[in-house]
Amino acid sequence: MKRILTGIQPSGKLHWGNYFGAIRNMVDLQEKGEEMFMFIANFHAMTTVRDGATLRQATEDVVLDYLACGIDPAKTVLYRQSDLPEVQELAWYLSCLAPMGLLERCHSYKDKMAHGFDATHGLFAYPVLMAADILIMNADLVPVGKDQKQHLEVTRDLAQKFNNAYGETFKLPDAYIPERVATIPGTDGQKMSKSYRNTIELFEDAKSIKKKVMGIVTDSTPMEAPKEPEGNSIYELYKLFATPEEVAQMAANYRAGGYGYGHAKKELLAAYHRLFDPFRAKREELAKDVDYVRDVLSDGCRRARAAAAPMMEKVRKEVGL
């Protein structure tokens, strides 16, 4: 059995990219009997969210989204990052070994700067905190998108530096990148990301979702002309929701001509509702049971801290504390 760990920032509403890039894969893995840990990365979200009430609400929303989409707290340890103060403690120990050059080379920081984010220490040191999240849980595998793989390499580098300095302490975790999920396009054709404001949220109201789907940017190829489906944003999104047979039919329609992007968008919208309407109903029921959600987080905190305690005891001894 492998121990698998992943987290999602509550820096905004979860979107299609979060579900197909992370949540669906975690549900699949939990059903295979792997040892699962999922956390809401509210420390990380503070690099961009500067309002306490907003962060608190967003954190609660992520918990509801996880549970509605199939995360089972009996099979997966679900916890808030901030409920583990040991994470920040380990981040400091790793910071004392982290070379500046290693962090300066991280492309995520450069990308955020290019998109106008403030150049803060928190954003710069993000990979160190991510390393602490992973290493404190002694994780074997970390599901990451291709754009996050570099941060996992930083985690491995820092673990090795700690081992070299203090003796064998941390295992080197491996990336888990599902082959079936490529970069998920947003409404503008770029990677779907809250940072780019091009997302379609999992549970926003139906009218808003319809407006966003029908507004997905396309080229000017006329309806009657044949079109190449591969690489087209609508088609790539449809592949995430639809059956292989439905995908093949849309591809054939594209190539035959007489099939416009408006037709494809309507099919995409219908496919979304087939998958997510049951999730939406479950989420509405969960939102009415506040005590249950609090109990899930309380139990997740207890189990997460119990898992982290042996590692922290070993680390403190190694560093001389």
Which of the four pLDDT bands, split at 50, 70 and 90, describes residue 177? confident
Same domain, 67 and 125: yes
Residue 280 in domain: yes
Q: Assess whether pLDDT exceeds 70 at residue 181.
A: no
Contacts of residue 138, Cβ cutoff 8 Å, sequence gap at least 6 = 3, 170, 171, 307, 311
Same domain, 248 and 296: no
Q: Assess whether pLDDT exceeds 90 at residue 180.
A: no
Same domain, 52 and 78: yes
Same domain, 7 and 116: yes
pLDDT tens digits for range 223-279: 999 999 999 999 999 999 999 999 999 999 999 999 999 999 999 999 999 999 999
DSSP 8-state code for residue 83: G
Same domain, 272 and 298: no
Same domain, 161 and 300: yes
Answer with the residue of higher pLDDT: 154 or 113. 154
Which of the four pLDDT bands, split at 50, 70 and 90, describes residue 119? confident
Residue 81 in domain: yes
Same domain, 60 and 170: yes
Task: Look up the CATH number of the domain holding residue 142.
Answer: 3.40.50.620
- Active site (annotated) includes residue 194: yes
Which of the four pLDDT bands, split at 50, 70 and 90, describes residue 114? confident
- Active site (annotated) includes residue 191: yes
Same domain, 237 and 112: no
Q: Assess whether pLDDT exceeds 70 at residue 76.
A: yes
Interior angle at CA 65, CA 59 and CA 71, nearest 5: 110
Residue 192 in domain: no
The pTM for the full model equals 0.90
Q: Assess whether pLDDT exceeds 80 at residue 309.
A: yes
Contacts of residue 203, Cβ cutoff 8 Å, sequence gap at least 6 = 13, 65, 68, 276, 279, 280, 283
pLDDT at 182: 62
- Number of domains the chain contains: 2
Q: What is the mean pLDDT of the chain?
A: 93
Residue 60 in domain: yes
Closest to 191 (Cα-Cα) out of 7, 42, 15:
15
pLDDT-wise least confident of 46-50, 96-100, 303-307: 46-50
Same domain, 226 and 168: no
Residue 119 in domain: yes
Residue 193 in domain: no
Same domain, 145 and 42: yes
Q: Which domain holds residue 242?
A: 203-284
Mean pLDDT of the region 13-42: 93
CB 78 within 8 A of CB 66: yes
pLDDT at 270: 98
Same domain, 278 and 305: no
Measured CA to CA, the distance from residue 199 to residue 16 in angstroms comes to: 7
Same domain, 58 and 179: yes
pLDDT at 179: 63
What residue type is 68 in one-letter code?
Answer: A
pLDDT at 132: 98
Of 2, 161, 171, 191, which one is the catalytic site residue?
Answer: 191
Of 194, 227, 239, 265, which one is the catalytic site residue?
Answer: 194
